[in-house]
Structure 1
């Protein structure tokens, strides 16, 4: 299977919050790396899954990811569900900022403060739940734009994410839908389309998943 971020497959894993702290994170990474190595692979991206472990253990875990990346065990490193304060703590500790922050992101939950911070700091924003887990597809704006462009609602949502400069992570188990989710380059949302989608933002209330970006 191709890896090393060659544009075909990008292998990603995470360290859960309960595994943060120095020794727990080292064990989690080493165990995961050993599994990948059995198949001749190496993780392209390794993330801290969430910020729930608290400041001290988060920073310890982040130091371990830097250590493992520098040792060649991991290719790239990042975080998931981190808010601005969590990212600032990393900077204040004198550590390099993550390469990636993976957060819930779609027109109903746009996380603008986090996105603005990541863009300023050169952190890639990965958007999970970009197609709303199949929810809210009956929204009038989504339906109108899908009809206008003769595409599906998921295609509208993923196209919005791409035009925002995010890396969307749509999930589907259906081959036909997986293919449709990739067929995005024969249409483009115009300025008015993007404004209508931007206007759907409901802040934190628009989240459809666990969204711990404000935890301490």
Structure 2
């Protein structure tokens, strides 16, 4: 009986002189027609019919929060993937524009390591010099009877030991720099060989 009434109502609406009607099905499965369709089905698909009962427009149901969240997550993942691809392309260009051959990588590695090693040797020589001074100060301290001389020599020893401690910290930093340089060029060599192999096997061009 309800279906007959609904059908009659729909036929009356279709046959009316109105330009168009709307229909939708709410979350409980009930159908709504006319202006009520917009009000009662705000979360459902709305179909607009002309006065002949033909569909002239379909308005999709609003997306749920879960669907919107999934879309945002997908967009973010796509953006991150694009950023990674662009970063890799830039790295490829950088590597292949700096190094013509693998020997260029070794040459730059040697130059930078030698520079740091020179500073390491300077610090070690400085420490040896300070150690010699400390040894002399201690010898003088053991042989003097002057309180003023003892105070001065004691302070000189303390100052020299402090300088050695500072130099030790600088040596640690230099050794860390040396390891970082070695790690850097190890990675650069790996990237160079991979990009060069890709270019020779028909991959993307090595340079723009």
Interval of TM-score (by shorter of Structure 1 and Structure 2): under 0.3
Q: Which has the higher helix share?
A: 2
| TM-score normalised to structure 2 length | 0.16
| TM-score normalised to structure 1 length | 0.15
- Rg comparison, structure with higher value: 2
